[in-house]
Chains A and B, each alone.
Chain A
Amino acid sequence: MPPTLPPAIDKTTDPATTLARIANNSSVMVGGFGSPGTPFTLLAALLQRAPHGLTVIKNDANEQGIGVSTLMEAGCARRFVVSHMGLNSAVIEMMNQGELEVEMHPQGLLAEKIRAAGAGLTGILTDIGLDTILREKRQTMEFQGQTCIVEPSLRADAALIHAARADRWGNLVFEKTARNFNPLMATAADLVIVEALEIVDIGELDPDHIHLPGAFVDHVVPADTTLSDYGVLKHHVAQT
Chain B
Amino acid sequence: MSPKHKIAKRAARELQNGQVVNLGIGLPTLLLNHTPEDLEIFVHSENGVLGMGPRCPACQAHPALIDSGGDYIAVRSGAAFFDSALSFALVRGGRLDVAVLGALEVAENGDLANWIIPGKFAPGIGGGMELAQKARRVIVTTTHTTRSGAPKLLRSCTLPVTAKACVHRIITELAVLDPTPQGLLLRELAHGVRPEDVLDKTEARVILPEDDPPRF
Q: Which residues of A contact B (CB under 8 A)?
A: 33-37, 59-60, 63, 82-87, 92, 95, 104-112, 114-115, 126-129, 131-134, 164, 174-184, 211, 230-234, 236-238, 240
* CA of A127 to CA of B160, assembled, Å: 17
Contacts of B83 in A (CB 8 A): 111, 174, 179-184, 211
For chains A and B in complex, what number of residue pairs have CB atoms within 8 angstroms?
A: 162
> Are the CB atoms of A179 and B88 closer together than 8 Å?
no
Q: How far is the CB of B162 from chain A (nearest CB, A)?
A: 7
Q: Which residues from 61 to 102 on chain B have a C-beta closer than 8 Å to any C-beta of chain A?
A: 61-66, 68, 70-72, 81-85, 87-89, 91-92
Q: How far is the CB of B23 from chain A (nearest CB, A)?
A: 15
Interface size on B, residues (CB 8 A): 48
Interface string of B128-143 (1 = CB under 8 A from A): 1110011000000000
Knowing A36-B66, A107-B46, A108-B92 are in contact, say whether A238-B72 is a contact too (CB < 8 A): yes
The contact sample of 20 A-B pairs, CB cut-off 8 A, is A36-B63, A37-B64, A63-B70, A83-B125, A107-B84, A107-B88, A107-B130, A108-B84, A108-B127, A131-B164, A132-B160, A132-B161, A174-B81, A176-B81, A183-B83, A232-B61, A232-B62, A233-B70, A236-B72, A238-B72
* CA of A34 to CA of B45, assembled, Å: 13
Contacts of A126 in B (CB 8 A): 92
> Are the CB atoms of B124 and A84 closer together than 8 Å?
yes
Of B56, B66, B127, the most chain A CB neighbours within 10 A belong to B66
Contacts of B1 in A (CB 8 A): none
* CA of A93 to CA of B160, assembled, Å: 21
Contacts of A36 in B (CB 8 A): 47, 63-66
Contacts of A106 in B (CB 8 A): 125-130
Knowing A82-B124, A237-B72 are in contact, say whether A129-B47 is a contact too (CB < 8 A): no
Interface string of B161-179 (1 = CB under 8 A from A): 1111000000000000000
* CA of A36 to CA of B46, assembled, Å: 13
Knowing A106-B125, A177-B47, A177-B65 are in contact, say whether A111-B58 is a contact too (CB < 8 A): no
Contacts of A37 in B (CB 8 A): 64
Q: How far is the CB of B194 from chain A (nearest CB, A)?
A: 36
Chain B: CB-nearest residue to A61: B124
Chain B: CB-nearest residue to A229: B63
Of A83, A126, A134, the most chain B CB neighbours within 10 A belong to A83
| Contact of A236 (CB < 8 Å), options: B66, B89, B125, B126 | B66
Knowing A34-B70, A107-B130, A236-B70 are in contact, say whether A86-B65 is a contact too (CB < 8 A): no
> Are the CB atoms of A105 and B72 closer together than 8 Å?
no
> Are the CB atoms of A177 and B70 closer together than 8 Å?
no
* CA of A171 to CA of B23, assembled, Å: 34
* CA of A59 to CA of B126, assembled, Å: 8
Contacts of B116 in A (CB 8 A): 133
Q: How far is the CB of A86 from chain B (nearest CB, A)?
A: 4
Chain A: CB-nearest residue to B133: A128
Q: How far is the CB of B25 from chain A (nearest CB, A)?
A: 8
> Are the CB atoms of B85 and A86 closer together than 8 Å?
no
> Are the CB atoms of A86 and B84 closer together than 8 Å?
no
> Are the CB atoms of A178 and B125 closer together than 8 Å?
no
> Are the CB atoms of B130 and A33 closer together than 8 Å?
no
Contacts of B91 in A (CB 8 A): 108
Chain A: CB-nearest residue to B113: A132
Contacts of B124 in A (CB 8 A): 60, 82-86, 104
B55 within 8 A of A: yes
Contacts of A63 in B (CB 8 A): 70
> Are the CB atoms of B46 and A179 closer together than 8 Å?
no
> Are the CB atoms of B125 and A105 closer together than 8 Å?
yes
> Are the CB atoms of A107 and B126 closer together than 8 Å?
yes
> Are the CB atoms of B127 and A177 closer together than 8 Å?
no
> Are the CB atoms of A84 and B123 closer together than 8 Å?
yes
> Are the CB atoms of B61 and A237 closer together than 8 Å?
yes
* CA of A60 to CA of B47, assembled, Å: 11
Chain A: CB-nearest residue to B68: A33
Chain B: CB-nearest residue to A105: B125
Contacts of B66 in A (CB 8 A): 33-36, 177, 236
Q: How far is the CB of B96 from chain A (nearest CB, A)?
A: 11
> Are the CB atoms of A236 and B71 closer together than 8 Å?
yes
